[in-house]
Structure 1
Amino acid sequence: MNILFKSFDGDPTERALLEAAFRNTRLGNCISIANDPSVLPKLTAQEHRWMSAGNLRCGHYPDVDWSTILPIDEPLLEAMRHCEAQCLRMLERYAFPQDIPFEERKRQYLRHLQYWNHVLGTEKIDLVLMNHVPHQCYDYVIYHLSKMKGIPVLYIDRMLTTDSVFMVSDWEESSPEIRDHYREVRERYTQTAEPITLSENYEYLYSYYLQKRPTPWYKPGKNPDSRRGFISKWYGRAAKLLFRDPAKLFTALLSPETWRRKLAEHRTFQFYERHVQTPDLSARYFYFPLQYQPEASTNPVAGAFTDQELSIQLLASCLPSGIRLYVKEHPRQGERCRSEDFYRSLLEIPSVTFVPKGFDTYELMDKAIAVASGVGTALFEGMIRHKPGIMFGHYFYQYAPGIHTVHSVEDCRRAVDSILRGEGLPTEWDVRMFLKAMDECSTPSAGLPALSPHEKRSDAEKVELMGAMVARSILTLPARKQ
């Protein structure tokens, strides 16, 4: 089997889980995309070569003789149009401290497309295995080319809210294993009066998210960009850069473009702060917490709704008169992916009210009619707290009770009408059944501190379980289409 591995080079457990998965397997020709060749997993393979992830993120292929690479033709370009638009947007994560012009984004995309279309075919790759959802442009090209060519793709999806991992083969379908197991659990418990028992870990997590103010998984802290003063905002960063790379600092200080961009960013944050209002929690409202960007949770996982203003505009258009839409910026949102125009477009919606970043998200959630988001954690937390949700994206809790997945205007209207009629609200029984399904078909995640104090397994034990999960998933894959 010829395998393309991507990003198993961070925490040591990531390499170890591959070594566990392929311990008794002789592989063919393998390619590992990683930051450093010294951390590649030790596999029994006919050939195992390294490609620099750093070069690929920049669209660089320094050792490639392009005269030997198959050219791009019209059918390939047209077949990949759906991939192209997302890829150009994905490069926003690397447009810092300077923007990447459209022409350069397009050049990088076409390089990725040409190279990987050639390699996936000539190297006869049988499987693409990634350590996370594809979201860095080149890996998204690999993902879609593989789908087009009938090459199986698997990636590990880490669910930080539950200390668990699943194998995913299609980000839009997310985790059908949870969907199918949830149906089985519902059938099982519909026919019995037995209580729905959870493992110690999941019982703890259920109680944890029902608390009045559980600690958010993203570890909130002070965001220097939330300070109002321009000098105080950037002084600390400039001081650090002075010691780390003084030449870079002085180049930035002498650049009119740097000052223009920094002042524009400062005005953007101040614009939001000037327009926040203390929310009236006695009002009837839907709660929409903005997701952090740039991140894989919006691009690609939110799909067509990567631009969050689109989902807010759609939802607002479906709300009856008198119902507010409270929008709260993510506490850790940085200077990218936001602008005055972004915030202005939201304020043009009559029902929208900006909420202070520091306002308690759980209080907003508990008093809301419903929670709405792309695929934000607030949807999962709201479901556990018996709040219905409207989801503009693709993630495992699209199968959860009380979650309405929206793709069209009609989907959104139906979701809002159903919620306002009080239909399908997630009950304790529903929530515990969904957690039961997750509990029974999930694998514990290695490499990160567990939320649950009842988790007794070591990282070494979790690595073995994750390796077995990978091996199991590969065995159930269909053979590559020829």
Structure 2
Amino acid sequence: MKVFLLSFNNKVQIEAARILKDKGVDIVYWTGARSEFDRVKKERAKFPNTIFHNTYDAARGEAPQDVDTTNFEVPISLIREMHDIESIVLTMMNAIDFTNVPLNKKKHLYYEYVTYWYNVLKQYKPDALLYPDIPHMAHNYVIFALAKRMGIKTIMYTDARRVPDRLLFFEDFHNYKELEESYKEAQKHNVRLGDLAPDIQAFYKNQTDSSKDSTPPMTQKSFFETRKKDTQIIPAFSSLLKNIRKGTVGVITKKYLKNLKDTKQMASLEKLEMSGFAQRRMFQKWEKLRKVFIDEYKSLQKKPDLSLNYVYVPLHVQPERSTSAEGRGIYHDQQLMIKVLSQALPKGWKIYVKEHIPQWLAIRAHLGRYPGYYESIAGLPNVEIIPAESQTFSLIENAKAVATVTGSAAWEALLRGVPALIFGDIFFSLCDGAYKIETEKDAKVALEDIENGKTPDSQKMLQFLYAIQESTVIGHDKHKFNKTREIDDKENASIIASGYYDMLTRT
């Protein structure tokens, strides 16, 4: 059984690769980056016949030395056939465009991606492609799209969106057919809360308790504030004082100065190597851009009246996979989503739009907003921008509906019995009370239903949670943000390898 490993970078993923190899899986091609991946490349003893390809090189369209591209066919017909993918990929490229690459050069790079990966897939004939996440780097998405057209299985996993310590394995994030089948089976039975595993019960109770703040760790302001150190050239006084007390100031200072001096390669569409000092200077410039967006937003915000009929729209942090790739291409543009809602809105209703504070704290935030962004939203009929500090759970509980591309607020709403309009591809769009929106007509039908009193069925929610329980494995994703139990890296790698292997051998 031959596989490609795509973006396997960290030690857990690499250990999972070793376990798969021991199970007889032939790892033909492997993309990755960073120190752990580089170490495996140098050792190579375990994977003597594997082609290793640095992710940063792949992002720039550069082939590894082991692959001869001299006679690679340019698949013109396929490029024409995949025109719908081109726009999605160009959007994804923005996430790592740190040198203002011209549009025509990006388009050419996209054609290079299609040409290279089509020929590699045709030449090495893998049985499956394994991803440790939903593919959202531009070249990874092209490989995924090609695999679908060429009949090659794809397997990936993600955390079960805030259900702690649960990993969901699936073949295609556009449909989640494995979970859908499990949900259909669960609906044949009357599921009670006591039928759920203790961790799923705890999750459900936590999410439905209005007195608790269930904000996911990765989206909390405190998480992004810790990233501020990446922009600092001079360490914070508190950090310096802490190291003086510990007697480690000399060692830390030496290490810090080395980091400022050392040159590192960045994930970028063009080759970009920068010293730590130059990186921090660049990040500081980006921080100034973010302040422009904040001022614009605050000049437009109004306090929401929660007694009115309204649809709550919490914006996504961008650039992120939650809108690109999961936004079905066009709904990467959240302004377009809000415009569709505005045109479908029942008479007398409002739309409350709230920015996600981490958008103003994330390092690449300037790639997801631009001057005039919030003004264009505020100018739409019946749309109001509300303070970003507004309490999201009060907004959810008083809303007629929550609308988002794939955001967790929709999942939280459904758990609380509030309908959700979902414009992207996410597993909880299968749940009762969730409306998948592609067109203005879809939005009108959904909002008419909601205006007439349609809400999620609590029994179907328990059935859906049971389906999640049956379709997931206990483990941590690469971030480990959403965990309630300790799982060491070796055990976690074994869990992940087993998840892949089960999917590989499933008929």
- Both structures adopt the same fold (TM-score exceeding 0.5): yes
**Deviations, residues 420-459 of structure 1 (Å, cap 9, x unaligned):** 1112x12432222211111122111235557564x47655
Measured after TM superposition, the shift of residue 463 of structure 1 is: 3.5
**Deviations, residues 191-226 of structure 1 (Å, cap 9, x unaligned):** xxx66521111111111112323242125125999x
1:179 aligns with 2:180: yes
1:23 aligns with 2:14: no
SS of the equivalent of 1:187 reads coil
Which 5+ residue runs of structure 1 have no aligned equivalent? 226-232, 478-482
Measured after TM superposition, the shift of residue 418 of structure 1 is: 0.6
State the distance in 2 between where 1:452 and 1:143 align: 29
1:411 aligns with 2:450: no
1:206 aligns with 2:204: yes
Query: Is residue 92–residue 100 contact of structure 1 (8 Å, CA) maintained in 2?
Result: no
Query: Is residue 386–residue 427 contact of structure 1 (8 Å, CA) maintained in 2?
Result: yes
SS of the equivalent of 2:158 reads strand
State the distance in 2 between where 1:342 and 1:66 align: 45
Q: 1:360 aligns with which of 391, 408, 421?
A: 391
1:7 aligns with 2:7: yes
State the distance in 1 between where 2:45 and 2:462 align: 41
Query: Is residue 131–residue 155 contact of structure 1 (8 Å, CA) maintained in 2?
Result: yes
Q: 1:346 aligns with which of 377, 391, 407?
A: 377
SS of the equivalent of 2:366 reads coil
Note closer, same or farther for the CA distance 1:351–1:44 as it changes in structure 2 (3 Å cut).
Answer: same
Note closer, same or farther for the CA distance 1:133–1:62 as it changes in structure 2 (3 Å cut).
Answer: same
Note closer, same or farther for the CA distance 1:43–1:366 as it changes in structure 2 (3 Å cut).
Answer: farther
Q: 2:317 aligns with which of 292, 303, 325?
A: 292
State the distance in 1 between where 2:333 and 2:472 align: 31
State the distance in 1 between where 2:496 and 2:66 align: 35
Measured after TM superposition, the shift of residue 102 of structure 1 is: 0.7
Name 1:111's counterpart in structure 2.
112
CA RMSD in angstroms, aligned pairs only:
3.2
Percent of pairs with identical residues: 22
Aligned length: 458
State the distance in 2 between where 1:169 and 1:240 align: 45
State the distance in 2 between where 1:397 and 1:253 align: 39
Query: Is residue 233–residue 280 contact of structure 2 (8 Å, CA) maintained in 1?
Result: no
Note closer, same or farther for the CA distance 1:30–1:319 as it changes in structure 2 (3 Å cut).
Answer: same
In the alignment, residue 214 of structure 1 is paired with which amino acid?
Answer: D
Note closer, same or farther for the CA distance 1:106–1:238 as it changes in structure 2 (3 Å cut).
Answer: farther
Query: Is residue 19–residue 43 contact of structure 1 (8 Å, CA) maintained in 2?
Result: no
Write out aligned runs for 1:83-482 (5 A).
83-96=85-98, 98-162=99-163, 163-173=165-175, 175-189=176-190, 196-212=194-210, 213-217=212-216, 218-221=218-221, 237=232, 239=234, 245=260, 265-303=290-328, 304-333=330-359, 334-423=365-454, 425-446=455-476, 449=480, 451=482, 453=484, 455=485, 459-476=489-506
Query: Is residue 26–residue 44 contact of structure 1 (8 Å, CA) maintained in 2?
Result: no
Measured after TM superposition, the shift of residue 394 of structure 1 is: 0.7
State the distance in 1 between where 2:195 and 2:69 align: 62
State the distance in 2 between where 1:66 and 1:313 align: 48
Measured after TM superposition, the shift of residue 67 of structure 1 is: 6.2
Query: Is residue 291–residue 298 contact of structure 1 (8 Å, CA) maintained in 2?
Result: yes
Q: 2:51 aligns with which of 49, 52, 75?
A: 49
State the distance in 1 between where 2:120 and 2:357 align: 42
Note closer, same or farther for the CA distance 1:283–1:84 as it changes in structure 2 (3 Å cut).
Answer: same
State the distance in 2 between where 1:346 and 1:70 align: 46
State the distance in 2 between where 1:364 and 1:430 align: 24
Which 5+ residue runs of structure 2 have no aligned equivalent? 237-255, 262-273, 360-364
1:77 aligns with 2:79: yes
State the distance in 2 between where 1:460 and 1:427 align: 40
Relative to the length of structure 2, the TM-score reads 0.82
In the alignment, residue 127 of structure 2 is paired with which amino acid?
Answer: D
State the distance in 1 between where 2:124 and 2:380 align: 52
State the distance in 2 between where 1:325 and 1:341 align: 19
Measured after TM superposition, the shift of residue 391 of structure 1 is: 0.3
State the distance in 1 between where 2:71 and 2:467 align: 47
In the alignment, residue 2 of structure 1 is paired with which amino acid?
Answer: K
SS of the equivalent of 2:385 reads strand
Name 2:245's counterpart in structure 1.
none
State the distance in 2 between where 1:356 and 1:136 align: 32
State the distance in 2 between where 1:94 and 1:394 align: 23
Note closer, same or farther for the CA distance 1:262–1:429 as it changes in structure 2 (3 Å cut).
Answer: closer
State the distance in 1 between where 2:230 and 2:497 align: 46
State the distance in 2 between where 1:20 and 1:140 align: 26
